[in-house]
């Protein structure tokens, strides 16, 4: 019975929805709601990355660059182009997807490290642009972001943002789960196991990889847009190298290719600095250590490993 | 005319000094990549440990040459520990996993360094004073000659080691074909450890040489790693000669770009170079090994 | 399962014993919050701030605390990330229920946190430089550092007095350098000075000779200004000497501690900069009102940390001190009353300057709080402006 539930396709979605409904009931203060909202937003970005890493077997070391594109899109659209913030959110996500397509196309024909290297360079350039073009982006001190308005309702307050973020993640997770079960998803999984085998059975490897890369960019940009709108301010370090690494760490720690894994990984990295306030000086060392330990001892990540263990115990 | 020449020379001096540093970092990348297929993002942190270690040891009253030696040995130990506890247990992991392990190691080293050392900037006195040497209307610091000369010595020494010693040939053999190397009796584990140790030493020497010019801080390694990595990439991953040329090229492009065009995107030059190379010459300037490895 | 009466009785007795044996907790502590960038790329600013705050609150509690209550410092590290700063700000308000906040290392993180404190109506004294923090004035937001604009004015006053009208500028692309460059460009015209070369360098640039060479080759330049902080100004100063540029070099208040002279070495000779009294504690005139305050801070900080004091630590010192004085004056730990007292700050002698705030001025420092310094024989020397 439990094994059947664990294996069912939409169980993760249901579990997530229940968790989202329960948290506001038990959260002692709005601070906890903000932390949870951040977890949902970063989980959304990690979800896109987990499709790229877990299914296409590629890594992006500049994913925060796409997050930055979405964030600055939401800031720049209303401020410089007179667009509505919500329209800017969707436009910048689309733009991020397009840019990913243009950058990814020539590179994804290569194998091995090359996407990682290209995304690294691309992310660094984006972060430099956000930092340097002061007239457009406000420079290193960042840029104010207009409030999002949906059908005349101005979204503000931690509680409202909690629900907006939760809703966005649920929709993102639903799309991801459908995608994974689709022929594209199966092709991607084949690709992760062996590119040679996948291409031998007729999978157009570079096109599928490109698809995963574009999807990952759109998810990250959308998450970035929500982050900027919730905070009302965006600064260039959101697009920086360390932030890209944190996103990859979320996917690794939670478990590559797992929807719940992305949420667990995001929760881990968002809550960690809040839990370790007494050991602030050691936080960075601990983060590095955790990444190493997970990659070496638990390469599957928390969620897939736990799931496998549970399934073995049950059968 | 003389002024134009002087400006050109000044920019070239600047580019060569900075480029020599990138070249040394790229050389470390290349050595480890050749032996083990690992891209070691902690390579820049070796530079930091070498520099910071020397700063703190001299502050404790130890003479500069001895302090530098101890710092270099310390960095080699860190490199060996990195191999033993992070790379070796992950044998057979995917390239992505190996990248993440070395990035984790880099973050860990920085995290420990800010506690063991501190979070402030530090410098070392220049080895041969601060009086600039005038050449053709441009000036160069004596320390820059130390850096360029040091890079030259290290490159030659590395070449001699790889081509003319049994151990060096073992490294090359392991790089070419790990299984075959094992079959002819090479202890692959020791060869890999050696690659990490030598790379750490190269990084640490670079750190000691450049600290009087660039200053140092616990998180200095990241930018060096990224730029050095770009240099290795431009030169063709895995080619030691390419690493050196790539490093000098990026240093020169940064200097001439900032001098003749604009300094706003000086830091972007290395990353633009990566993208251009990937788009148009995926094997780098000097070929390197085949891209289509499976 | 409910605990038995015996257990509850024991617990109550223990709790009572605890309150009786530790007089420090006899009263509820007054909670003051802080978020600084103690780690990350801005750690060289945030670290001295965090140390200063801890030292100050420890000393305060040893003296018996505030209004007969102990003071509790709730200190968080944002790692230089504005998003994290915002989360910690929410935590200070919602969870820790602080009555006031003294923190915010960078302008970016300060701007991210402002809405949280404005909404909760809790006073927030920032340690960051940006002028947008207090212009326009927000009811609950104050700051201690001089604005970049005042620094520019002070420097241009000095240049004008020395007869310089054509200058070069090389600024860092970090928040400090960019913001100061912008302010300097705004006010430079007021002094009849034109900027002939406007260069920049990255936050981690290790060589600026290409940029400086351009300035050197621009004809007519009479002086060069370098807005920036961190290692940048030290590298610029060294490269300046290497290229043999002879016109005077001006640094800013971002060159904030004696470590600049150590890092720049002999190249620092002759460099001029505006700085708060803090840097020249031992050289202030005997009658200078800031002298005792500055000397006391310098002695306690350097004894406790074995590091030279920096103006950034000084901003934190003034920030927490302003809050503490406001609480004393208001005789209350009510956020609204602390805010009112802060706004009424008059003639407070701090290490950065002498503050007099008003409903239209939440900084309260003028150009006179800057001293013009010159570096001679490896030490600061007070200059008469214009000479």
Instruction: Identify whether residues C227 and C154 lie together within a single domain.
Output: yes
pLDDT of residue A115: 80
Q: Which domain holds residue C35?
A: 24-146+292-356
Residues of B in contact with C43 (CB under 8 A): 114, 119
Task: Provide the shortest C-alpha distance from residue A135 to chain C (in Å).
Answer: 10
C274, pLDDT greater than 80: yes
Phi-psi region of B82 (alpha: psi -120 to 50; beta: other; left: phi over 0): alpha
Residues C215 and C85 reside in one and the same domain: no
C105 touches chain A (CB under 8 A): no
- Cβ atoms of B202 and B27 within 8 Å: the answer is yes
Asked if residue C3 belongs to a domain, the reply is no
User: Does B256 score more than 90 pLDDT?
Assistant: yes
**In Å, how far is B232's CA from the nearest CA of chain C?**
20
Statement: residue B64 has pLDDT above 70: yes
Q: What percent of chain C has pLDDT above 70?
A: 92
| Pair of tokens at residue B191 | 């060869």
* pLDDT at residue A186 in the model: 75
pLDDT at C89 over 70: yes
* pLDDT tens string A79-102: 899 888 899 999 999 999 999 999
* C4 within some domain: no
Which chain B residues are within 8 Å of C200, Cβ to Cβ?
Answer: 263-264
Rounding to the nearest 10 degrees, give the CA dihedral for residues C120, C123, C129, C130: 40
More confidently predicted of C210 and A157: C210
Interval A47-71: pLDDT, tens? 999 988 887 778 889 999 999 999 9
Residue with tokens 């441009």: B138
Number of domains in chain A: 1
Q: What is the CATH number of the domain that holds A138?
A: 1.10.3470
CB C224 within 8 A of CB C171: no
Chains in contact with C, counting 3 or more C-beta pairs less than 8 Å apart as contact: A, B
* Chain A residue numbers touching C95 (CB-CB < 8 A): 28-29, 31-32
Interface contact flag, A141 C91, Cβ < 8 Å: no
Q: Provide the pLDDT confidence category of residue B290 given band limits of 50, 70 and 90.
A: very low
Judged by phi (left if over 0) then psi (alpha if -120 to 50, else beta), residue C65 lies in left
Q: Which of B32, B86, B88, B103 to mutate to test the interface with A (most CBs of A within 10 A)?
A: B103
For residue C105, tell me if it sits in a domain: yes
The pLDDT mean for chain C works out to 89
> Percentages helix, strand, coil for chain A, rounded to the nearest 5?
80, 5, 15
The phi, psi pair for C279, rounded to 5°, reads -70, -20
* Pairs of CB atoms within 8 A across A/B: 134
Gap from A78 CA to chain C (nearest CA, Å): 19
- Select the more confidently predicted residue: C27 or A239: A239
When pLDDT is averaged across residues C337-366 and rounded to a whole number, the result is 93
Residue extents of the structural domains in chain B: 6-220
> What number of other Cβ atoms are within 10 A of residue C187's Cβ?
16
Taking contacts as CB-CB distances below 8 angstroms, the residues of chain C near A70 are none
Task: Give the CATH number of the domain where residue C321 resides.
Answer: 3.40.50.2300
What tens digit of pLDDT does each residue of B14-47 get? Answer: 999 999 999 999 999 988 988 888 889 999 999 9
Write down which chains contact chain B via at least 3 CB pairs under 8 A: A, C
Give the model's pLDDT for residue C13: 47
Any domain includes C173: yes
Q: Please tell me the total count of domains within chain C.
A: 2
Instruction: Output the CA–CA distances (angstroms, integers) from residue B256 to A137, B226, B259, C182, C210, in the order listed.
Output: 27, 20, 5, 26, 7
- Tens-digit pLDDT profile for residues B91-109: 878 777 888 899 999 999 9
C245 and C376 part of one domain? yes
* pTM recorded for the entire structure: 0.89
- Whole-number average pLDDT of chain B: 88
Residue B54 pLDDT more than 90?
A: yes
pLDDT of B160-189, one tens digit each? Answer: 888 888 888 888 888 778 788 888 888 888
Residue B266: which of C43, C205, C235 has the nearest Cβ? C205
Please name the residues in contact with B77: beta carbons below 8 A apart, sequence gap of 6 or more: none
Tell me the per-residue pLDDT of C15-40, one tens digit each, with 9 for 90 and over.
444 444 444 445 789 999 999 999 88
Residue A6's pLDDT is what? 66
**Mean pLDDT for chain A overall:** 87
Average pLDDT over residues C10-16: 47
A 151-180 residues with CB < 8 A to C: 158
Q: What angle do CA B235, B238, B240 make, to 5 degrees?
A: 65
Looking at the structure, tell me whether residues C184 and C309 fall in a common domain: no
Domain range for A119 = 2-314
User: pLDDT tens digit string along B114-165?
Assistant: 999 988 899 999 999 888 999 888 899 999 999 999 999 999 998 888 888 8
Distance CA B108, CA C42 (A): 18
User: Is B264 in CB contact (< 8 Å) with chain A?
Assistant: yes
Helix (H, G, I), strand (E, B) or coil at A296: helix
Q: Do C323 and C338 contact (CB within 8 A), yes or no?
A: yes
pLDDT band at C386 (very low <50, low <70, confident <90, very high): very low
Q: Does the structure show a pLDDT above 60 at B69?
A: yes
Residue C11 lies in a domain: no
Q: What is the DSSP string of C290-354?
A: THHHHHHHHHHHHHHHSS--BHHHHHHHHHHHHHHHHHHHHTS--HHHHHHHHHT--SEE-SS-E
Which chain C residues touch B223 with a CB distance below 8 Å?
Answer: 204
C82: nearest CB among A28, A233, A280: A233
Given this model, what pLDDT does residue A109 score? 76
Rounded distance between C-alpha atoms, residue C366 and residue A252, angstroms: 52
Any A CB within 8 A of B97 CB: yes
> A141 and C174: CB-CB below 8 Å?
no
Q: Are residues C376 and C254 in the same domain?
A: yes
Q: Which residues of B touch C177 (CB under 8 A)?
A: none
């Amino acid at each position: 019975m439990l094994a059947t539930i664990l294996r069912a396709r939409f169980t993760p979605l249901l579990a997530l929805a229940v968790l989202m409904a329960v948290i506001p009931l038990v959260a002692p203060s709005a601070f906890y709601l903000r932390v949870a909202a951040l977890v949902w937003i970063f989980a959304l970005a990690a979800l896109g990355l987990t499709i790229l890493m877990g299914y296409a077997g590629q890594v992006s070391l500049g994913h925060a660059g796409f997050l930055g594109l979405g964030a600055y899109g939401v800031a720049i659209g209303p401020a410089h182009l007179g667009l509505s913030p919500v329209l800017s959110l969707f436009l910048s996500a689309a733009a991020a997807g397009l840019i990913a397509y243009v950058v990814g196309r020539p590179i994804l024909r290569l194998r091995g490290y090359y996407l990682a290297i290209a995304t690294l360079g691309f992310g660094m350039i984006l972060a430099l642009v956000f930092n340097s073009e002061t007239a457009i982006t406000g420079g290193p001190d960042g840029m104010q972001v207009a409030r999002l308005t949906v059908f005349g309702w101005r979204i503000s307050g931690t509680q409202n943002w909690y629900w907006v973020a939760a809703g966005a993640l649920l929709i993102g997770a639903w799309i991801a789960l459908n995608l994974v079960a689709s022929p594209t998803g199966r092709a991607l999984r084949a690709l992760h196991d062996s590119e040679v085998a996948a291409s031998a059975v007729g999978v157009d490897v570079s096109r599928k990889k490109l698809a995963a890369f574009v999807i990952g960019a759109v998810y990250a940009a959308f998450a970035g847009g929500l982050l900027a709108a919730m905070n009302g301010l965006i600064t260039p370090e959101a697009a920086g190298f360390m932030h890209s690494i944190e996103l990859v760490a979320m996917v690794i720690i939670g478990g590559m290719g797992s929807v719940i894994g992305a949420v667990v990984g995001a929760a881990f990295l968002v809550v960690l600095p809040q839990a370790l306030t007494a050991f602030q000086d050691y936080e960075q060392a601990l983060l590095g250590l955790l990444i190493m330990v997970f990659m070496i001892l638990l390469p599957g990540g928390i969620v897939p490993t736990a799931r496998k263990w549970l399934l073995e115990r049950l059968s | 005319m003389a002024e134009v020449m002087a400006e050109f020379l000044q920019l070239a001096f600047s580019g060569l000094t900075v480029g020599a540093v990138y070249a040394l970092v790229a050389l470390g990348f290349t050595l480890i990549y050749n032996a083990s297929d690992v891209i070691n993002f902690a390579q820049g942190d070796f530079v930091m440990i070498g520099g910071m270690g020397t700063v703190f040891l001299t502050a404790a009253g130890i003479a500069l040459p001895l302090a530098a030696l101890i710092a270099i040995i310390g960095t080699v130990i860190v490199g060996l520990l990195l191999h033993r506890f992070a790379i070796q247990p992950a044998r057979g992991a995917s390239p992505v996993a190996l990248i993440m392990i070395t990035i984790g190691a880099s973050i860990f080293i920085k995290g420990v360094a800010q506690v063991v050392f501190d979070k402030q900037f530090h410098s070392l006195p220049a080895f041969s004073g601060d009086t600039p040497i005038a050449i053709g209307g441009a000036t160069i610091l004596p320390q820059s000659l130390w850096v360029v000369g040091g890079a030259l010595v290290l490159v030659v020494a590395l070449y001699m080691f790889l081509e003319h010693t049994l151990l060096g040939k073992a490294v090359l053999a392991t790089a070419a074909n790990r299984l075959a190397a094992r079959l002819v009796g090479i202890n692959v584990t020791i060869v890999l450890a050696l690659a990490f140790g030598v790379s750490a030493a190269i990084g640490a020497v670079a750190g000691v040489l450049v600290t009087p010019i660039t200053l140092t801080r616990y998180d200095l390694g990241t930018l060096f790693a990224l730029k050095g990595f770009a240099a290795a990439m431009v030169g063709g991953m895995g080619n030691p000669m390419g690493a050196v040329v790539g490093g000098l090229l990026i240093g020169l492009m940064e200097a001439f770009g900032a001098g003749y065009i604009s300094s706003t995107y000086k830091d972007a030059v290395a990353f633009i170079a990566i993208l251009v190379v990937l788009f148009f010459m995926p094997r780098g300037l000097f070929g390197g090994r085949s891209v289509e490895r499976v | 399962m409910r605990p038995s009466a015996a257990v509850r009785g024991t617990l109550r007795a223990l709790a009572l014993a605890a309150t009786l044996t530790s007089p420090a907790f006899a009263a509820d502590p007054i909670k003051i919050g802080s978020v600084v960038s103690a780690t990350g790329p801005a750690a060289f600013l945030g670290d001295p701030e965090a140390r200063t705050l801890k030292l100050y609150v420890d000393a305060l509690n040893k003296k018996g605390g505030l209004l007969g209550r102990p003071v509790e410092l709730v200190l968080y590290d944002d790692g230089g990330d504005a998003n994290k700063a915002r989360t910690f700000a929410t935590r200070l308000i919602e969870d820790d229920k602080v009555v006031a906040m003294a923190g915010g290392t960078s302008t970016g993180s300060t701007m991210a946190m402002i809405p949280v404190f404005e909404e909760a109506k809790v006073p927030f004294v920032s340690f960051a430089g940006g002028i947008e923090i207090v212009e326009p004035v927000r009811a609950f937001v104050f700051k201690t550092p001089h604005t970049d604009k005042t620094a520019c004015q002070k420097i241009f006053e000095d240049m004008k007095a020395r007869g310089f009208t054509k200058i070069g500028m090389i600024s860092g692309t970090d928040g400090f350098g960019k913001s100061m460059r912008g302010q300097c460009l705004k006010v430079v015209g007021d002094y009849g000075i034109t900027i002939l070369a406007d260069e920049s360098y990255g936050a981690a640039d290790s060589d600026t000779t290409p940029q400086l060479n351009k300035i050197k080759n621009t004809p007519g330049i009479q002086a060069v200004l370098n807005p920036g902080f961190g290692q940048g100004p030290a590298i610029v100063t060294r490269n300046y000497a290497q290229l043999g540029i002879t016109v005077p070099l001006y640094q800013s208040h971002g060159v904030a501690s004696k470590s600049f002279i150590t890092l720049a070495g002999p190249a620092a000779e002759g460099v001029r900069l505006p700085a708060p009294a803090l840097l020249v504690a031992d050289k202030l005139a005997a009658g200078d009102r800031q002298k005792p305050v500055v000397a006391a801070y310098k002695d306690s900080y350097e004894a406790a940390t074995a590091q030279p004091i920096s103006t950034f630590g000084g901003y934190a010192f003034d920030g927490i001190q302003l809050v503490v004085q406001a609480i004393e004056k208001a005789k209350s730990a009510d956020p609204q009353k602390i805010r009112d007292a802060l706004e009424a700050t008059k003639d407070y002698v701090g290490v950065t300057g002498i503050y007099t705030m008003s409903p239209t001025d939440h900084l309260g420092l003028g150009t006179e709080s800057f001293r013009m310094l010159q570096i001679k024989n490896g030490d600061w020397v007070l200059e008469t402006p214009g000479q």
